[in-house]
Structure 1
Amino acid sequence: MSRKMSEVFVLAVLLLAGCGAPTAGPASTYTSVPDKPSSPVKLNVLDVAGNLQLTQGMIDEFVTAHPDVVSEVNYSKATAPDMPGKLKAEQNAGRSQTHLVLTGTDGLAAVIGQGLAAPLLPDHEARFVGLKDNYLPPAAAMQDLSQGQGIVVTYYPAGPLLEYDAAKVPNPPNTADELLAWAKANPGKFQYAVPANSGPGRTLLMGLPYILGDSDPKDPENGWAKTWAYLAELGQYVDDYPSGTTETMKNLADGSANLVATTTGWDINPRVLGTVPESARVTTPAGFHWVTDAHYAVVPKGVSQDVMAANLALIKSMLDPKQQAKAYDKGYFYPGPASEVHPERWTGAYEVQVAARSDDS
C-alpha cells in the first residue's frame, strides 16, 4: 500500500464532507497535562465509525484496571456527517461534553478541516514512544494522514471489493466496463451506500481512479475525469444509495440488490452474523489496488486537562499488543489491529478464503 493511495482517502473525503461535564474548566492548550487526572473522570465517548465493535472491550478493561483515572464511560453513537456539527455547537457554547471521538477517515477529515480537534502529536509524543515503529506499515502511513489530530487505533486494507449473490449472478463483472454493462442490464440491482457514511462506499470511490487509470488518483478535483464520468453513467442504473452499509447487506440478502460494494470486513462480518446468504461471493475488478482505511481516536478541543490526561492514558493502553488483539473481533474491520499482534500475515489468508469461495461458485 503506497502512501499516495492512502492520502487520497482524506483528500477526497475533505471534498465530500463538507453526558458529564469536564472536571475542570475547558482548556485551549494542553502544554502541561498531568500523567493522570487529579480525580477520576467520567468520559463521554462518541463512536461515528462502528469502532466500538473493535475497541469497547479495550476501553472497558482499562476502566476496570484504572478506576483512579476513569470512573465511568458513557458511550454514544452518531453518523460521521452529524459529528462535526455536534462538536462545533459544544465548543461554541464553551462546553465540550464529548470527550473522545472514534472516527474513520471521513470524520477525521471533517475535524481537521474545521479545526475541531485538540492536537495530540507531536504535543504528547512522549506518551507514545515508538508509536510509528509499532504500527503495521500501512497503519503508520494512515497515522501520517492524521496531521497529529488523531491516533490510529485500528486498521484494515479495505478494498474495493464487489460482493454478489452467486445464485443470482453466476457470471459477476470482473472489470469496470463489465460492471457498467451489468448495471445497465440489471437496473437497480447494484448498490453502494452513501460514501460520506460508508466505508465500502468510500473505498469504491477511492479505488475507481486506479481501476480506471485516471490522470491523478490523488486529486479528486482535477485528476478524476474518468471517475466522475464513470459514476455519472453508472448512476443512471442505480436506483438507491442507502444511508449505511448495513442496509446494502440486508438488501443483498432479500434480493433487492444482487451486487454491492464491500470491503474485507464487510465481506466477513455479515457472514458471521448470518446477514448475507451463504451463496454470497466476492470479486475484485481488474486494475484493483488495496485502498486502506483506519479508525482514529480524536480528542475534541475544549476538554479539561484532567479529561485530556485520561484520554492519553486510555489511548496508550488501547495500543498495547494485548489490547490490539481484541480488534480481531468477528471480522468487522478485518483484520483490525493496527500493530502486529500475530505472526501470520492476514493477506495470504484472506486471499485464500476468497479464492476458495470463488471456486465453490
Structure 2
Amino acid sequence: MNRRSVFRLLPLILCALGAGGAARAGSWDDVLAAARGQTVYWNAWGGDERTNRFIAWAGRELERDYGVSIAHVKLSDTAEAVTRVIAEKAAGRDADGSVDLIWINGANFLSMKEKGLLYGPFLFDLPNARYLDLSEGSAALVDFTVPTEGYESPWRLARFVLTHDSARVPDPPRSMAALLDWARAHPGRFTHPAVSNFMGATFLKQALIELTPDPAVLASEATDEVFAAATAPLWAWYDELRPLLWRQGETFPENESVLQQMLNDGEVDFAMAFDPAAAAAAVAQGLLPETVRSYAPEGGSIGNISFVAIPYNAAHREGAMVVANFLLDPATQAQAQNIEVLGSFSVLDPAKLDADARAAFAALPSSPALPGNEALGPTLNEPHPSWMVRIAEEWARRYTR
C-alpha cells in the first residue's frame, strides 16, 4: 500500500477513535455519504495560476475518491464573496446559499464572524485536524489576532518575502530603512502592488511593524489616537520613498503577479510575495531567471495561515467539510509544498506526522531561490484587521487624487 493510500485511510481510523479518543462512530461517514455527488462552490482568489491549477487538481482527486466536485469561483477580492453572503442574508436566503467555501483571512473573517455568517465550529470535526497544533493561541487557531474558534480550517502557510535578481542586486537591503537608502541610489527600480490589493497593503504593514515606536499596539484595534501615533513614522518614510518608486509612485502594478512579470522583464529589480516559495516555483516554470532569490527582512517578516470557512447558509456544507479535510491531508500538504506544484509551506505540525510523512516532505525538490526557515527568521504577527483597513484608507487619502 502506498503512502497516499495510507493517508486516505486515516480519516476513517481517526473518525472511529474520535478527536479526543471517545467513539464517534459514523459521524464522519455520515458527512462523506451526504457529500457524495455535491459540487462545492469554492470562492477563492483567482489571481495566481499555480493556485488555480492546485485547486483544479484537488477537485479531480476529490471527485475520484469522494464523489465531491469543486467549482472554483475565481475572485479578485475576497470581499466579493463576503458581500454575496451578506446580500443573501438580507434577502432571507438562510439556506441553499451560493457560496459553499471561502478562502478567507483577516478583516473578511472578522466581518463574517461578527455578523454571524459562518457555519460551525467545524474544524474539530475534521479527522485530519489532529495533524494541526491545536494548543491555545497557536497559529492554526488565530487569524490576524482574532481567535477562529473552529470556524475556519487552515490550508496554507504564508510569509512576506522580497524577491530580487541577484545578478542585478547582489546585496539587497535588509530593512525598510535600508530600502529607502537603496531607492535613493536607484530611483525608479522599486515599486509595490497597488495598496488596494492585499499584497500592496501587506508591504505597508511590514514597513509599519519595523518603523512604529511600539509594535505591541498593533495587536489591538486601531483607534484614531493610537493609529495616528503609530503610523506617523510610516508616512514620513513613505513620503520620501514614493517619488523614488517606478514612475515616481504615480501608478502601481495591479497585483504581485504583474510585479513579478515586471521583475522578469527587467523593468524593476524587486518583486514581493506572501509565499516564500513563489519565486522558486516561478524559476522552475521559466517565469523568472535562475538568478532570482527571495529573502525576509533582518528582523523577520509578517506571516499567517490562510484559512477556508463555510458560510452559515452553504448549500453543500458536507462537501465543503470534505474539501477542508482533504486540504489537511499530509499527502495533500506535501503536494502543495512541492515547488514544482504550488510551493506553499505546510500548515501541519511536523511533530504530529509519522516517519513516512516527514520523509515525504524531506524529499521535496528544493531551489536556490527558496529560503529555508532559518533564513526567513522569526514570524511577525499580523496586526489586528482594523490596521490593514485603516492603512489602505489613509494611503488613498494621502496619495491619490
Distance 2:195 2:111 in 1: 14
Residues 205, 220 of structure 1: alpha-carbon distance in 2 compared, 3 angstrom cutoff: farther
Paired position in structure 2 for 1:282: 294
Paired position in structure 2 for 1:233: 240
1:271 to 283, 292, 299: 283
2:317 to 299, 308, 311: 308
> Do structure 1's residue 143 and structure 2's residue 159 form an aligned pair?
no
How far 1:299 sits from its partner (Å)? 1.2
Paired position in structure 2 for 1:84: 82
> What one-letter code is carried by the residue in structure 1 that aligns with 2:319?
A
Q: Is the 8 A contact 1:165 1:280 kept in 2?
A: yes
Deviations 1:100-154 (A, max 9, x none): 12234464345446x3742322xx3552358366349899414322343321112
TM-score of the aligned structures, taking structure 2 as reference length: 0.65
Paired position in structure 1 for 2:172: 172
Q: Is the 8 A contact 1:153 1:318 kept in 2?
A: yes
Greater relative contact order structure (CA < 8 Å, 6+ sep): 1
User: SS at 1:264's partner residue?
Assistant: coil
Alignment of 1:90-101 (within 5 A): 90-93=88-91, 94=93, 96-101=97-102
Paired position in structure 2 for 1:15: none
Paired position in structure 2 for 1:152: 154
Distance 2:320 2:83 in 1: 22
How far 1:249 sits from its partner (Å)? 0.5
Deviations 1:202-250 (A, max 9, x none): 5433332443353124357323432343234322323233221100000
Distance 2:162 2:123 in 1: 39
> What one-letter code is carried by the residue in structure 2 that aligns with 1:128?
L
User: SS at 1:63's partner residue?
Assistant: helix
Residues 230, 38 of structure 1: alpha-carbon distance in 2 compared, 3 angstrom cutoff: closer
- Aligned-pair identity in percent equals 16
Paired position in structure 2 for 1:18: none
Q: Is the 8 A contact 1:105 1:295 kept in 2?
A: no
How far 1:252 sits from its partner (Å)? 0.7
Q: Is the 8 A contact 1:192 1:241 kept in 2?
A: yes
1:296 to 281, 299, 307: 307
Paired position in structure 2 for 1:14: none
Deviations 1:315-361 (A, max 9, x none): 22332222222212436764432113425679xx8899559xx9xxx
1:44 to 41, 44, 50: 41
Paired position in structure 2 for 1:108: 109
Distance 2:283 2:84 in 1: 34
Q: Is the 8 A contact 1:47 1:75 kept in 2?
A: yes
Distance 1:112 1:351 in 2: 41
Deviations 1:163-201 (A, max 9, x none): 2233333443233222112223333321221355344x4
How far 1:300 sits from its partner (Å)? 1.9
Q: Is the 8 A contact 1:190 1:258 kept in 2?
A: yes
> What one-letter code is carried by the residue in structure 1 that aligns with 2:314?
V
> What one-letter code is carried by the residue in structure 1 that aligns with 2:277?
G
> Do structure 1's residue 326 and structure 2's residue 327 form an aligned pair?
no
Distance 2:237 2:220 in 1: 16
Distance 2:169 2:142 in 1: 40
Q: Is the 8 A contact 1:266 1:332 kept in 2?
A: no
Paired position in structure 2 for 1:249: 260
Distance 1:142 1:214 in 2: 28
Paired position in structure 2 for 1:10: none
User: SS at 1:167's partner residue?
Assistant: coil
TM-score of the aligned structures, taking structure 1 as reference length: 0.71
> What one-letter code is carried by the residue in structure 2 that aligns with 1:255?
G
Alignment of 1:214-233 (within 5 A): 214-216=213-215, 217-219=218-220, 221=222, 222=226, 223-233=230-240
How far 1:283 sits from its partner (Å)? 4.1
Distance 1:137 1:326 in 2: 26
Distance 2:157 2:209 in 1: 21
Distance 1:226 1:332 in 2: 40
Distance 1:55 1:136 in 2: 25
Distance 1:136 1:194 in 2: 35
Q: Report how many aligned residue pairs link the two structures.
A: 310
Residues 196, 295 of structure 1: alpha-carbon distance in 2 compared, 3 angstrom cutoff: farther
Q: Is the 8 A contact 1:155 1:335 kept in 2?
A: yes
User: SS at 1:47's partner residue?
Assistant: strand
User: SS at 2:277's partner residue?
Assistant: helix
| Root-mean-square deviation over aligned CA pairs | 3.6
User: SS at 1:164's partner residue?
Assistant: strand
Q: Which runs of 5+ in 1 are unaligned?
A: 1-32
User: SS at 2:162's partner residue?
Assistant: strand
Paired position in structure 2 for 1:29: none
Q: Which runs of 5+ in 2 are unaligned?
A: 1-28, 351-356, 376-401
> What one-letter code is carried by the residue in structure 2 that aligns with 1:152?
P
